[in-house]
């Protein structure tokens, strides 16, 4: 079964070499990836960072001893599809990014503030 | 018609601040929602303002219980990015500190769980053992909480034979205590009544909730970073991955009882096998080329991840810390649905939540 998963992962740019791999992915393909692999990979977390005025998200998944990272360039409207509807464990990771970096996740089931106060402005990691 | 009951942010069952809103129907919990952030200190952001070596002191203070594992994960990430070799003796000292910390953390948890169930005799008895571990840690690191023993490329203090023999004898009495705990936790009627078939999650649910550490292993998931993605000298040491299948509060707690015994086994092997040699790589870490690295360690509560991105300067460009509580705590929202109100604090408490870790 693992061999079969490996061949399917190749089309996303994962060659199966080394303990960690990073592959670039279009945001529109994100849900398809999660849907296809949610039973074989374990969601770890999402890292968000700002580089040269653009935002990037890195989604990390664990598969046995290996880590698969999907790097997604956030579009200019700062919105990416939420993966929480298919993968409930991403809930807090996405809400934290909303609070810290003021990005939007479309279709998030409960986009409430998690880390910051209700009356605080989102994006506390920006402009400082 | 349901009604809502707030738990926290300050509550006798919680050691730190968190807020849980429960929706009840009679005595049954139908929905639960957790709010965090009461101890948020923006540590990830602050880390990008300090140099790599200065960050070590900051990262160790993410948590007051598993502080050592935070500094270990950070050191591993920086060493990986900078290509810094760590002497073998230093690796053994790191494993010893890590395992002693695991024992102290698990004993603290077992005591706190007994306290949450109103079993204060067991609470005091368990914590007496924890005190002995903290004395051991103080003996060779000089500190009881933030041991400050790690440095980039090795450790700061060596272990002498006198200290090693004191630790050896302390481990013997600790083993007696752990065996008594094993007996109590497997037989005591009131413990079993409060924990058996409470907060059950199946293996499939545990996978979907992405839980880690003892919370996952108590639901039959075979994952322990020390075994599945080994680091340091763990491949040279003999120990078993403790996995129980029942998926209730009891099995996830009992995993920790058995892991305490495994940690004692590892600590003994370290003291027997530790080679002589230097304890630190003298090469300093000043600037690091652009890298994107990740380190994972098995902290007492589960997989701890440090994701480090460097940009060629003398400080991290981005440091993301994913603590185990950050994935284990949201899973309790799921576990609490359908439980009785009196079980809610036990369910939240049984994943051993560490709020300071989680809020960063």
Contact between chains at A89 and B334 (C-beta distance less than 8 A): no
Spatial CA neighbour of A54 closest among A97, A16, A103: A103
Candidates A42, A58, A118, A123: best to mutate against B (most CBs of B within 10 A) is: A42
What is the predicted pLDDT for the residue at A114? Answer: 87
Let me know the angle formed at the C-alpha of B273 by B271 and B279, rounded to the nearest 5 degrees: 80
Beta carbons within 10 angstroms of residue A19's beta carbon: 10
Residue A15 included in any domain: yes
Contact between chains at B326 and A45 (C-beta distance less than 8 A): yes
| Segment B210-238 mean pLDDT | 90
Which residue of B lies nearest to A118 if distances are taken between CA atoms? B35
The residue behind tokens 């491949």 is: B235
Given a cut of 70, whether residue A28 has pLDDT beyond it is yes
Whether B13 contacts B348, CB under 8 Å: yes
Residue A72 included in any domain: yes
Residues whose CB falls within 8 Å of the CB of residue B235, separated by 6 or more in sequence, listed in order: none
Alpha carbon separation from A70 to A61, A103, B184 (Å, rounded): 8, 17, 46
DSSP B314: S
Residues paired with residue A67 on neighbouring β-strands, in sequence order: A20, A62
Distance CA A127, CA A100 (A): 11
Token pair recorded at residue B114: 């007994």
Alpha carbon separation from B159 to A69, A109, B60, B137, B271 (Å, rounded): 39, 53, 21, 11, 9
**pLDDT tens readout for residues B12-53:** 767 777 788 888 888 888 888 888 888 888 899 999 999 999
| Segment A72-76 mean pLDDT | 89
Answer whether A117 touches B (CB < 8 Å): yes
Distance CA A84, CA A105 (A): 9
Residue A17 included in any domain: yes
Given a cut of 60, whether residue B212 has pLDDT beyond it is yes
- Please, what's the largest Cα pairwise distance for chain B? 69
Whether B244 contacts B255, CB under 8 Å: yes
The minimum CA-CA distance between B140 and chain A, rounded to whole Å, is 32
Residues of A in contact with B45 (CB under 8 A): 125, 128
Contact between chains at B359 and A115 (C-beta distance less than 8 A): yes
Answer whether B309 touches A (CB < 8 Å): yes
The total of structural domains in chain A comes to 1
Contact between chains at B45 and A45 (C-beta distance less than 8 A): no
Contact between chains at A115 and B294 (C-beta distance less than 8 A): no
Contact between chains at A44 and B305 (C-beta distance less than 8 A): yes
The minimum CA-CA distance between B324 and chain A, rounded to whole Å, is 10
| Segment A13-26 mean pLDDT | 82
Distance CA B147, CA B128 (A): 20
Residues of B in contact with A34 (CB under 8 A): none
Given a cut of 90, whether residue B266 has pLDDT beyond it is yes
Given a cut of 80, whether residue A6 has pLDDT beyond it is no
Domain B42-285 has CATH 3.40.50.300: no
The minimum CA-CA distance between A77 and chain B, rounded to whole Å, is 23
Candidates B31, B36, B37: best to mutate against A (most CBs of A within 10 A) is: B37
Candidates B221, B225, B227, B294: best to mutate against A (most CBs of A within 10 A) is: B294
Residue A106 included in any domain: no
Contact between chains at A45 and B305 (C-beta distance less than 8 A): yes
Compare CB distances from A67 to B40, B294, B309 and report the shortest one's residue. Answer: B294
Domain boundaries defined on chain B: 42-285
**pLDDT tens readout for residues B137-193:** 898 888 888 888 999 989 988 888 889 999 998 899 899 999 999 999 898 888 888
Residue A65 included in any domain: yes
The complex scores an ipTM of 0.88
Answer whether B305 touches A (CB < 8 Å): yes
**pLDDT tens readout for residues B269-327:** 999 999 988 988 888 888 888 999 999 999 999 999 999 999 989 999 999 999 998 88
Answer whether A124 touches B (CB < 8 Å): yes
Which residue of A lies nearest to B322 if distances are taken between CA atoms? A45
The minimum CA-CA distance between B244 and chain A, rounded to whole Å, is 19
Alpha carbon separation from B114 to B120, B250, B255, B351 (Å, rounded): 6, 12, 15, 14
What is the predicted pLDDT for the residue at A128? Answer: 60
Which residue of A lies nearest to B39 if distances are taken between CA atoms? A115
Question: Residue B280 in 3-state DSSP?
Answer: strand
Residue A70 included in any domain: yes
The range of the structural domain enclosing residue A58 comes to: 2-77
Task: Give me the sign of the Cα torsion angle B195, B201, B207, B208.
Answer: negative
The minimum CA-CA distance between A61 and chain B, rounded to whole Å, is 10
The minimum CA-CA distance between B303 and chain A, rounded to whole Å, is 9
Residues of A in contact with B21 (CB under 8 A): none
Contact between chains at A19 and B36 (C-beta distance less than 8 A): no
What is the predicted pLDDT for the residue at A63? Answer: 87
CATH code, domain carrying A18: 3.30.360
Given a cut of 60, whether residue A1 has pLDDT beyond it is no
What is the predicted pLDDT for the residue at B256? Answer: 92
| Segment B203-222 mean pLDDT | 90
Considering only residues 7 to 66 of chain A, which have any Cβ-Cβ distance to chain B shorter than 8 Å?
19-20, 22, 38-39, 42-45, 47, 49, 51, 58, 60, 62, 64-66
């Amino acid at each position: 079964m693992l061999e079969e998963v490996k061949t399917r992962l190749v089309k996303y740019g994962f060659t199966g070499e080394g303990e960690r791999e990073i592959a670039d992915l279009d945001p529109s393909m994100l849900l398809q990836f999660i849907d296809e692999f949610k039973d074989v990979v374990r969601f770890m977390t999402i890292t968000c960072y700002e580089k040269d005025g653009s935002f990037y998200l890195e989604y990390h998944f664990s598969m046995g001893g290996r880590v698969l990272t999907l790097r997604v360039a956030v579009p200019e409207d700062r919105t990416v599809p939420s993966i929480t509807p298919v993968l409930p464990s991403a809930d807090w990771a996405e809400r934290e990014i909303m609070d810290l970096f003021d990005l939007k996740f479309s279709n998030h089931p409960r986009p409430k503030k998690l880390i910051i106060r209700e009356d605080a402005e989102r994006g506390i990691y920006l402009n400082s | 018609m349901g009604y809502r009951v707030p738990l926290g942010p300050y509550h006798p069952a919680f050691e730190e601040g968190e807020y849980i809103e429960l929706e009840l129907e009679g005595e049954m919990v139908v929905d639960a929602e957790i709010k965090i952030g009461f101890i948020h200190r923006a540590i990830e952001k602050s880390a990008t303002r300090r140099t790599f070596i200065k960050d070590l002191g900051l990262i160790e203070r993410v948590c007051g219980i598993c502080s050592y594992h935070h500094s270990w994960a950070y050191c591993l990430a920086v060493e990986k990015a900078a290509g810094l070799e760590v002497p073998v003796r230093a690796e053994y000292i790191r494993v010893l500190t890590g395992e002693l910390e695991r024992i102290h953390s698990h004993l603290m948890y077992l005591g706190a769980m007994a306290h949450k169930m109103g079993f204060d005799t067991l609470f005091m008895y368990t914590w007496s053992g924890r005190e002995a571990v903290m004395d051991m840690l103080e003996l060779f690191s000089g500190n009881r909480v933030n041991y400050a023993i790690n440095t980039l490329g090795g450790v700061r203090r060596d272990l002498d034979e006198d200290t090693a023999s004191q630790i050896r004898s302390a481990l013997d009495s600790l083993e007696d205590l752990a065996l008594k705990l094993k007996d109590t936790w497997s037989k005591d009627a009131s413990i079993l009544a409060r924990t058996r078939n409470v907060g059950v999650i199946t293996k499939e649910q545990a996978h979907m909730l992405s839980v880690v550490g003892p919370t996952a292993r108590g639901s039959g998931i075979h994952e322990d970073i020390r075994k599945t993605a080994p680091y340091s000298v763990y491949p040279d040491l003999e120990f078993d991955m403790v996995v129980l299948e029942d998926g209730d509060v009891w099995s996830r707690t009992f995993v920790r009882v058995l892991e305490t015994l495994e940690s004692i086994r590892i600590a003994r092997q370290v003291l027997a096998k530790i080679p002589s040699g230097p304890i630190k790589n003298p090469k300093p870490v000043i600037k690091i080329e652009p890298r994107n690295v990740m380190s994972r360690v098995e902290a007492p509560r589960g997989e701890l991840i440090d994701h480090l991105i460097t940009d060629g300067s003398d400080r991290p460009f981005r440091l993301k810390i994913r603590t185990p509580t950050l994935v284990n705590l949201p899973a309790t929202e799921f576990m609490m649905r359908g439980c009785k109100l009196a079980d809610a604090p036990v369910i939240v408490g049984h994943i051993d939540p560490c709020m300071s870790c989680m809020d960063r």
